[in-house]
Amino acid sequence: MKTLLTGGTVVSMDPAVGDLAPGDVLVEDGVIVEVAARIDAPDAEVIDATDRIVVPGFVDNHRHTWQTAFRGAGADWTFAEWAVAMHGTVKPHYRPEDVYAGTLLGRLEALHSGVTTMLDWYHVAGTHEHEDAAVAALRDAPGHSIFCLGAGWGTPDPVDSDVRRVRDVLPGDGPVTMALGLRGPEATDLDTVARELKLAAELGLRTSLHVDLTTGAVAELHAHGLLRDTTTFVHGNGLGDEELRMLADAGSSLSISPDVELKMGFGRPMTGRALAAGLRPTLSVDDVPSAAGDMFSTMRTAFAVQRGLDGGLRSRDLLSFVTLDAAASCGLDARTGSITPGKDADIVLLRADDLTVFPVTDPVASIVSAGHPGLVDTVLVSGRVVKRDGVLVDVDLAALRTRLLASRERIAAAAGIPLDGTWRPRPSSE
Ligand SMILES: [Zn+2]
């Protein structure tokens, strides 16, 4: 089956392909086969991309999707308040069906906003039924998803047999794959980190771990030979420059969540310092109770902060962080992250005629400075159209909304929290 995108402004993010205005993209059996100023393919289904900016699908490599029922509830929260609210107050009341509803609506929202590949950093609860519910939700949403089985925050560390069980459920390189979330040196001992890395290597899993405020965590891992080119470090606001260079030398990745880090008091996003140390940063949403779920927001916040600090970064850097660089951090840069012949057709068409960006002079500058999910007109995942004319295809949103609202209300009632905007979590230290 062939699909031809015609007459769009193509921002390929592949230096060998470049940008074309206008340009055509030919997709065959889910794979990009040609990108050129004009392509003749009379047997292809045509998608008119006139007045559209054609970009690679976005990649979010760190999102705790289970929290979706409480989207927007925590814009004012500190980190301590978020921890007591999400992990201390509502999480104990999550049933598998709540994990399913939150994960599915969260994944669909990401897709709606152009995120074709998303890593779900799972740390809600340790039962097999909860894990399976998250996997089922990711499978029921039509995007590439990575189920990152994690722990921490009162969740039992997954034991080896549990990791192996999920690996048996997610064995291959299908639409939903698996990664392993580590607690890391801030929350556990180095022997545990070493054991988990060994297990991950045996099972062929990439790993991700949070290092928030601690200086020295990465140096400690480095000293014990525990840095891997298959590990993504999340946040890293406390890392020293030497530690950032250690990550760069090891080929590890860094995932920056600009809104959460700034609002919850982690410190400034590490974008500029990471680049200076030789790392290609990536951006992530992290938590939708306190941050927006789209990559336009992450790009804009990271851009504004770095420009404010030192005038650094160009808008194209930001677009790279959420496409090609993020794909590399997931080990998927051979398959996605740019509009390159041979890669999966993970492609987003953005409205260039919307008044919020019209008229477009420099498409990348417009996307980064003024882009928003309302521009996301059409989304293809492996060539399959999953959003068209601004609407998700074959998704009964009304039914899913009802389901998520019921989940939220049941959890809130069980946890004794109000849903009228007066919920103010109280950390025990206050
Ligand atoms: Zn996180």
Q: Per-residue pLDDT tens for 252-263?
A: 999 999 999 999
Q: State the distance from the centre of ligand 1 to the C-alpha of 403, rounded, in angstroms.
A: 25
Q: State the distance from the centre of ligand 1 to the C-alpha of 422, rounded, in angstroms.
A: 25
Confidence label for 211 from pLDDT (cuts 50, 70 and 90): very high
Q: Per-residue pLDDT tens for 118-134?
A: 999 999 977 899 999 99
**10 Å Cβ neighbour count for 5?**
27
pLDDT given for residue 125 in this prediction:
76
Instruction: Tell me the mean pLDDT in the region 204-225.
Output: 92
Confidence label for 430 from pLDDT (cuts 50, 70 and 90): very low
Q: State the distance from the centre of ligand 1 to the C-alpha of 210, rounded, in angstroms.
A: 7
Run of H or E residues at 54: strand 52-56
Instruction: Tell me the mean pLDDT in the region 345-362.
Output: 98
Q: State the distance from the centre of ligand 1 to the C-alpha of 120, rounded, in angstroms.
A: 10
Q: State the distance from the centre of ligand 1 to the C-alpha of 277, rounded, in angstroms.
A: 23
Phi first, then psi: give them for residue 216, nearest 5 degrees: 110, -15
Contact 298, 322 (CB under 8 A): yes
- What distances in angstroms separate CA 127 from CA 130, 151, 157, 209, one per listed residue? 5, 12, 11, 21
Q: State the distance from the centre of ligand 1 to the C-alpha of 286, rounded, in angstroms.
A: 5
Report residue 401 as tokens: 């909304």
Q: What angle do CA 205, 211, 216 make, to 5 degrees?
A: 115
Burial (Cβ within 10 Å: 0-12, 13-18, ≥19) of residue 413: exposed
Report residue 84 as tokens: 């007591």
Q: Which domains does the chain have, with CATH numbers?
A: 2-56+339-390 (2.30.40.10), 58-329 (3.20.20.140)
Single out the residue of 338, 258, 340, 260 nearest to residue 305, CA to CA: 258
Q: State the distance from the centre of ligand 1 to the C-alpha of 157, rounded, in angstroms.
A: 16
Q: State the distance from the centre of ligand 1 to the C-alpha of 26, rounded, in angstroms.
A: 37
pLDDT given for residue 185 in this prediction:
84
Q: State the distance from the centre of ligand 1 to the C-alpha of 285, rounded, in angstroms.
A: 9
Pairwise CA distance, residues 58 & 24, whole Å: 20
The rounded mean pLDDT for the chain is: 95
Q: Per-residue pLDDT tens for 16-74?
A: 999 999 999 999 999 999 999 999 999 999 999 999 999 999 999 999 999 999 999 99
**10 Å Cβ neighbour count for 368?**
22
Confidence label for 212 from pLDDT (cuts 50, 70 and 90): confident
Q: State the distance from the centre of ligand 1 to the C-alpha of 256, rounded, in angstroms.
A: 10
Query: Residue 240 pLDDT more than 80?
Result: yes
Q: State the distance from the centre of ligand 1 to the C-alpha of 106, rounded, in angstroms.
A: 15
Instruction: Tell me the mean pLDDT in the region 274-288.
Output: 97
The better pLDDT of the pair 417, 213 is held by: 417
Confidence label for 13 from pLDDT (cuts 50, 70 and 90): very high
pLDDT given for residue 153 in this prediction:
59
Q: Please, where are the H alpha helices in 119-189?
A: 128-140, 160-169
Confidence label for 423 from pLDDT (cuts 50, 70 and 90): very high
Q: State the distance from the centre of ligand 1 to the C-alpha of 252, rounded, in angstroms.
A: 17
Phi first, then psi: give them for residue 372, nearest 5 degrees: -160, 165
- What distances in angstroms separate CA 208 from CA 17, 122, 394, one per listed residue? 31, 11, 33
pLDDT given for residue 429 in this prediction:
57
pLDDT given for residue 329 in this prediction:
98
Contact 346, 381 (CB under 8 A): yes
Q: State the distance from the centre of ligand 1 to the C-alpha of 40, rounded, in angstroms.
A: 46
pLDDT given for residue 36 in this prediction:
98
Q: State the distance from the centre of ligand 1 to the C-alpha of 124, rounded, in angstroms.
A: 12
Q: State the distance from the centre of ligand 1 to the C-alpha of 4, rounded, in angstroms.
A: 38
Tell me the three state secondary structure of residue 62.
strand
Tell me the three state secondary structure of residue 42.
coil
Q: State the distance from the centre of ligand 1 to the C-alpha of 261, rounded, in angstroms.
A: 10
Q: State the distance from the centre of ligand 1 to the C-alpha of 276, rounded, in angstroms.
A: 24
Confidence label for 297 from pLDDT (cuts 50, 70 and 90): very high
Q: State the distance from the centre of ligand 1 to the C-alpha of 363, rounded, in angstroms.
A: 31
Burial (Cβ within 10 Å: 0-12, 13-18, ≥19) of residue 161: exposed
Is the CA virtual torsion 110, 114, 119, 121 positive or negative? negative
Q: State the distance from the centre of ligand 1 to the C-alpha of 234, rounded, in angstroms.
A: 7
Report residue 139 as tokens: 């499978």
Q: State the distance from the centre of ligand 1 to the C-alpha of 64, rounded, in angstroms.
A: 6
Secondary structure letter of residue 371 according to DSSP: -
